[in-house]
Every structure is written in C-alpha cells, then in structure tokens.
A and B are shown apart, each in its own frame.
Chain A
Amino acid sequence: MPIWLEAAIRSVSILIGLFVITRILGKKQLSKLSFFEYIVGITVGDIAGTMSTDLDINLQEGITSILIWSLFPVLISYISLHNKKFRDFVEGNSTVFIKNGKVLEENLKREKYTIDELMEQLRKKDVFRVADVEFAVLEPNGDLNVLLKREKQPLAVGDVFPNPPSEKEPQTVVMDGKILDEPLATMGLNRGWLKTELDKQGIAIENVFLAQVDSYGQLTVDLYDDKLNVQQPQDKQLLLAAMKKVQADFELFALETQSEEAKQMYEKNAKKLNDLLQKITPLLKN
C-alpha cells in the first residue's frame, strides 16, 4: 500500500471517529469550556493530527489514547451530573465579589482579581459605577454576572402593565417558498387559511420566501420580490381604532339625543365599551 493511501485512510477514519466523539461529548462542550475540557480538546486534536500524519505511530496506541482522553470527560460529566460535591470539586465554585452593594476585598484577593479587573468586567456589563451594583459573582467559568440595584434595573414590560398579555413563539409556516404543514397544524391552521390570508394581502404563494404567524394569528411575510411593499398586519390597530370611535360616538349620541331612555342606553354602553377598551388595549398593542 502506498504511503499516501495509508495516510489518507488514517485521516478519513480519524476524522469520522472525532466527529462521533464530539457528538457524544455534546453541546455543552461548545458553549462553556472549562479549563480541563479545553485541555482535553486540544490534546485529542493533537493526538489525532499526529496519528494521521506520522505513520510510525502504532494505530492501536493512538486509538487507545484518544479513547481515554475523550471518554474521561464523559465519565466526569456523568458523575458530576449525579453528585453535587463531585461537581463542585470538578467545576469549581462561584465567588461572590459584591454583596449588598459592598465589595468583598477578601474574595477578590482569593481569586487574584485586582479592583481594576473587576471594574473592567463591570464596564463590560455597562456598569460604570460600582455603587449601582447590588450583587456580583464570578462564575466558575470566569464570567462576572451582575445584579443591579432595583432602581438601576432596566424597565420591563411587567413594570408598566401589571398583567401583560403573554406572547407565544411565532411559527414559521412558509420557508424558501415551501409550505410547512407541521407548524401550521400546531397553530390550529391549515393551507386553506394560509391561502385566504395571502389572497387578502394580494400575494401569490409562489412569491413568498418566508411567512410567520404570531400567537394572535397574524401573518407576516417576506417576498422574493423585494420591490413589492408588503403591508404589516393592521387588524389589531384597526380594531382598537374602531372601538375608540364607537365609544366616542356613543358619548356624542348621549349628549345629542332628546329621549331620556336613549340617553341612558348610550351612556351605559359607552361605559361598557370604555371598560372593555381598558381591558383589551394591552392585548391589541404590540
């Protein structure tokens, strides 16, 4: 067997093997590498690289060492999944740097963090005044996480509307011009509905690149033809406007009418609609 062929076979089979191993190690490895996992990754890669080029190395030895290097982290993550103490030992503990708005100098010293570095990390989180911080903690993977004081926290929807309407995830019903039946069924809709909605907006299905349905059943589309202007769904705004108009009309009628009975009827219904407006407005605003 020529040398190049052997190298090629080795490389391809090692590539496949590495692919399988990375699948086993899972997604977690990608997002947050601990120092240990980092070293493991580099070493496995190095062994694989050497094995595929250096034909003097015995395949058995190489494969054994790769297996050990890659299966050891699997074993460790399996044990730490079931044992909190072991997990703390392997992954390390988080260290509190700021508590009740006060910097804990002892903990800084223990993690060999200078106050400059702490402030740099805080600035990365858009915090320029240490006094704004209620609580800050250094995670085992080296990230600093910050809880701002209540009055410095950004405004959330829940602060403005006590009971905001919940919004579910939108479903993509057309992708690359193909109708996806499963998400449509999830929303309790079907192809007939989709066609009606598109007809309403005057769009041919062949022209649709992407279409999504939000949790209120409103359809938004992106077309292949970018020169066409698509209207955003306005059903909610129109409904809100209609409600306001009818409510105002009733108040007007109540003032204009001569009949006492009709006046009362208009006033009662104007009030009803007003209450309804209060209740329904958060749902119709987006």
Chain B
Amino acid sequence: MTVASQVKQSLASLKSMHASFQQFALTSTDEKAQRAFHEAMLLTEEVIADVKERVSQLEREEPQYHGK
C-alpha cells in the first residue's frame, strides 16, 4: 500500500470518528457527556483539516497517486 493510500485510509477513519462523536453528542442525555463528545468532534475536525492538507501535498508531490 502506498503512503498516500494509507494516509487516505486514516482520513476516512477520522471522518467516521467525527460522525460517531457527532451522533453521541446528539443522543447522550447527560450534559457533561454531551459536551465532551462535542469537544471531541471539534478536535477531530482540526485533525481532519491537517490530514486533508497532507493528502493534497502528497498528491502534488506524487501525481501518480492522484485520486487513488
């Protein structure tokens, strides 16, 4: 597996985590838990932004991996 595809896999996992956090933030009834999940969701968003940046860098450096 190439580096680019590995990073893309992580990105997909991160997106799934983001969705799960969002879901738990909405369905939890405890306020503290809601807040913790919400913060986790925001943090995941930051990480996702960084990784997206890295993916486009990789694609620029090695165009043969583009879109794979």
| Given A269-B50, A272-B47, A283-B37: A165 and B20 interface contact (C-beta under 8 Å) | no
* A168 contacts B by Cβ under 8 Å: yes
* A167 contacts B by Cβ under 8 Å: yes
Residue contact A243 to B47, C-beta cutoff 8 Å: no
From residue 145 to 168 of chain A, which have CB atoms closer than 8 A to chain B? 165-168
- Name the prevailing secondary structure of the A interface residues: helix
CB contacts (< 8 Å) of B50 on chain A: these are 265, 268-269
CB contacts (< 8 Å) of A236 on chain B: these are 24
Identify the interface centre among A167, A243, A268: most chain B CB within 10 Å of its CB: A243
Query: From residue B5, how far is it (CB to closest CB) to chain A in Å?
Result: 12
From residue 202 to 226 of chain A, which have CB atoms closer than 8 A to chain B? 215-217
Give bound CA distance, A115 to B44, whole Å: 63
Residue contact A215 to B13, C-beta cutoff 8 Å: no
Residue contact A256 to B3, C-beta cutoff 8 Å: yes
Residue contact A168 to B29, C-beta cutoff 8 Å: yes
CB contacts (< 8 Å) of A246 on chain B: these are 10, 13-14, 17
Give bound CA distance, A262 to B14, whole Å: 17
Give bound CA distance, A215 to B32, whole Å: 12
From residue 248 to 286 of chain A, which have CB atoms closer than 8 A to chain B? 249-250, 253, 256-257, 259, 262, 265-266, 268-269, 272-273, 276, 279-280, 283
* A61 contacts B by Cβ under 8 Å: no
Give bound CA distance, A279 to B57, whole Å: 31
Query: From residue B54, how far is it (CB to closest CB) to chain A in Å?
Result: 6
CB contacts (< 8 Å) of B56 on chain A: these are none
Query: From residue B27, how far is it (CB to closest CB) to chain A in Å?
Result: 2
Residue contact B10 to A280, C-beta cutoff 8 Å: no
Residue contact A253 to B7, C-beta cutoff 8 Å: yes
| Given A187-B29, A242-B13, A272-B43: A279 and B36 interface contact (C-beta under 8 Å) | yes
Given contacts A269-B51, A280-B37, 7 further A-B contacts (CB under 8 A): A187-B27, A188-B29, A189-B27, A215-B29, A239-B17, A245-B13, A276-B40
Chain B residues engaging chain A, CB cutoff 8 angstroms: 3, 6-7, 9-10, 13-14, 16-17, 20-21, 23-24, 26-30, 32-33, 36-37, 40, 43-44, 46-47, 50-51, 53-54, 57
Question: Can you list 14 A-B contacts with CB-CB less than 8 angstroms, sorted by A residue number?
Answer: A166-B32, A187-B29, A189-B27, A215-B28, A217-B29, A239-B17, A239-B21, A246-B10, A246-B17, A272-B46, A272-B47, A280-B37, A283-B33, A283-B36
